[in-house]
Amino acid sequence: MSLESFEELARSLIAVQSVLPGPKALARIAEAKTHISPSLIHVYPLMVERAAGCMVQDVDGNIFFDAQAGVAAASTGHCHPRIVDAMSKQAETLIHICGTDFFYPGYGELSARLGSHADAFSTAATGEAVGWQTFLTNSGTEAVEAAIKLSRFHTRRTDIIAFRGGFHGRSYGSLSLTASKSKYRKHFGPLLCGVHHAPYGNADFIEKELFPRTVNPDDVAAIVVEPVLGEGGYIVPDVAFLQQLRAICDEHGIMLVFDEVQSGMGRTGRMFAAEHFGVVPDMFTLAKGLASGMPLGALVARKKVMTWPPGSHGSTCGGNPVCIASALATLDLLESGLVEASTRVGDILRDRLEVGLSKLSNVIEVRGLGLMIGVEFNTEEEADRISQTCFQRGLLVLECGDKAIRLSPPLIITESQALVAAEIFISVAASSA
């Protein structure tokens, strides 16, 4: 079957066998597990063969609706023709040369376009176009590492404040900030020194507890926060929380870093989730949806804080030309309607879930912005059972937080697809209530 034919089929069909995984998936998973790291989670026994749009097909021919978009990374859907075309054309001329040491087309263009969006936001929020510069990485965790280094270099300070429930990656610096689940940190210490955690959503804790008792504000280089909590539960904070963080940073000369690796690039119905709150940080970290799932991250920072000199930071493959081509094509699609679609279809999906789940005793809350939607249940066991049953019904979702499930489908999802996904999810939740 051609890719075009599969896309046509995938627009309307979810087709799964009565027993999952199928025989081919069972055999290939068993073979793979003997060779791959046991640290990988593998939430479902799913062996993917191909994907298109919002649909995923496994090796046994089962077709699933993807309501998690490769952990919110496949922002433009799977194998979008314009993404595929951009990458293919780039691969014919230049695959790698190293952006740390050489110039090549694309790096500057992508940096300028990200800076333009940041400037548009800062101008709308504060009336000031501050100017931005970008450092490209291979991933979100590397973007966070870069933010830690730049914050320390620019301020000549050492300490970092992060938040309980936050997830910032698994490399040592970013892992030191991560506080969503203890299993991510178990037996990996000692981690980065000088990291302090506050309750998410509680800026008063910083001023009333951390500053008087644990760390002097003159030693704090940065406050790193997700403007919408991702892996920690898809929690949307009060506007006042982020506004207060901005005020604290302004008062004490601290860098405010928004980790938008999951919430950025149109996921919440704005290019940056920060736009919902009108709070402009000193730095953004981006990845996931930036390049439609290709390995690319970015640290976007105000020019006045990009004070590190040549050689102080770099990356051999960060800003790879093929990944940049994917990112530029992704931006084209986001700018031509997908960001707005995230708001429109996200509202439809969230409203249907709220109505359909409102009378179920096992559901605590439906929350989110755009196509970043979380549903919290009474227990972790219930969330896990519902997630696994969704898989058996042909709907791919992921758990988050202590007892929630996230729905983060590709931004190309249609209204009818959103309603189908909602009905499956509601039916599964109701059968478990």
Is 56 in the same domain as 140?
A: no
Is 375 in the same domain as 252?
A: no
Is 386 in the same domain as 403?
A: yes
Is 288 in the same domain as 395?
A: no
Domain final position from 274, 303, 333: 333
Is 216 in the same domain as 164?
A: yes
Domain final position from 333, 356, 383: 333
Which range of residues forms the domain containing residue 361?
A: 3-80+338-432
Q: Are 296 and 323 in contact (CB under 8 A)?
A: yes
The reported pLDDT for the residue numbered 274 is: 98
| Confidence label for 3 from pLDDT (cuts 50, 70 and 90) | very low
pLDDT digits (tens, 9 = 90+) for 217-244: 999 999 999 999 999 999 999 999 999 9
If you average pLDDT over residues 60-65, what whole number do you get? Answer: 95
| Confidence label for 12 from pLDDT (cuts 50, 70 and 90) | low
* Percent with pLDDT over 70 in the chain: 97
Residue 421 lies in a domain: yes
Residue 258 lies in a domain: yes
Residue 171 lies in a domain: yes
| Cα 347 to the center of its chain, rounded Å | 19
Is 46 in the same domain as 145?
A: no
Q: Are 278 and 267 in contact (CB under 8 A)?
A: no
Residue 86 lies in a domain: no
The reported pLDDT for the residue numbered 17 is: 83
Residue 134 lies in a domain: yes
Is 264 in the same domain as 309?
A: yes
The reported pLDDT for the residue numbered 129 is: 86
Indicate if the pLDDT at residue 322 is higher than 70.
yes
The reported pLDDT for the residue numbered 18 is: 78
In this structure, what token pair is assigned to residue 33? Answer: 């597990």
The pTM is what?
A: 0.95
What integer best gives the mean pLDDT of the chain?
A: 95
Is 237 in the same domain as 346?
A: no
| Confidence label for 19 from pLDDT (cuts 50, 70 and 90) | confident
Residue 85 lies in a domain: no
In this structure, what token pair is assigned to residue 368? Answer: 């989110």
In order of 20, 398, 399, the CA distances from 427 in angstroms are 19, 17, 17
* Percent with pLDDT over 90 in the chain: 94
Is 273 in the same domain as 412?
A: no
If you average pLDDT over residues 361-370, what whole number do you get? Answer: 97
Is 214 in the same domain as 302?
A: yes
| Confidence label for 6 from pLDDT (cuts 50, 70 and 90) | very low
CATH of the domain at 197: 3.40.640.10
Is 328 in the same domain as 345?
A: no
CATH of the domain at 398: 3.90.1150.10
| Confidence label for 15 from pLDDT (cuts 50, 70 and 90) | confident
What does residue 410 show for φ and ψ, rounded to 5 degrees? -55, 150
Residue 308 lies in a domain: yes
Domain final position from 309, 333, 357: 333
Is 245 in the same domain as 345?
A: no
| Dist CA 374 CA 367 (whole Å) | 5
Residue 163 lies in a domain: yes
**Cis ω before 410 (30° cut-off from 0):** no
The reported pLDDT for the residue numbered 345 is: 98
| Confidence label for 432 from pLDDT (cuts 50, 70 and 90) | confident
Among 141, 135, 217, smallest CA distance to 177 is for 141
| Dist CA 17 CA 425 (whole Å) | 18
| Dist CA 176 CA 64 (whole Å) | 36
Count up the domains in the chain and report the number. Answer: 2
pLDDT digits (tens, 9 = 90+) for 133-171: 999 999 999 999 999 999 999 999 999 999 999 999 999
